[in-house]
Amino acid sequence: MEGQRTLTALIIDDELGVRESFEWILKGLGVNTDYAETTQEGLYKLAQNPYDFVFTDLKQTPTGVEVWNYALSRGIKNVYIMAAETVGELFNKARMVAGDKLIIKPFDVKDIDRIIRQKPQEPT
């Protein structure tokens, strides 16, 4: 569509299968994707690019909560934390910080579709 900007997303996860699944889903929704295998690489990319969406794994070093905080400090408002385990101190912290922007693995295509189809908040 003329005049409509293409959305962009950064996927940060150490699991190749998760990155590839997200990329496949997002590209099918017309979203340009970038990915990082580590949160260090993801933080570097966040410093360079104003993504519309960030999807980050919780259990990496730095943690998904730290990536969340950094992305928000860069003006990125559509940040989602992905978690495979739903117990423990780190998960509870992520739940408090991210609220409804916490995605439990395995995720469903319709969950990601719903996120992208909502009107995304513009990066500031």
CA distance 114 to 123: 19
Q: Could you list the residue range(s) of the whole structural domain that residue 95 is in? A: 8-117
Judge whether 98 and 80 are in contact, CB under 8 Å: yes
74, amino acid identity: R
Model confidence pLDDT, tens digit, residues 44-101? 999 999 999 999 999 999 999 999 999 999 999 999 999 998 999 999 999 999 999 9
CATH number, domain containing residue 54: 3.40.50.2300
Please check whether residue 123 lies inside any domain of the structure: no
Please check whether residue 32 lies inside any domain of the structure: yes
Please check whether residue 1 lies inside any domain of the structure: no
Please check whether residue 88 lies inside any domain of the structure: yes
Q: What are the two backbone dihedrals, phi and then psi, of residue 112, each rounded to the nearest 5 degrees?
A: -70, -40
Strand ranges, E, within the chain: 8-12, 32-36, 53-57, 79-83, 102-104
Q: Cis peptide leading into 120, omega within 30 of 0?
A: no
- The pLDDT value recorded for residue 121 is 62
- The pLDDT value recorded for residue 108 is 83
Please check whether residue 40 lies inside any domain of the structure: yes
Mean pLDDT of 105-115: 88
- The pLDDT value recorded for residue 1 is 45
Q: How many domains does the chain have?
A: 1
Please check whether residue 46 lies inside any domain of the structure: yes
Who has greater pLDDT, 105 or 53?
53
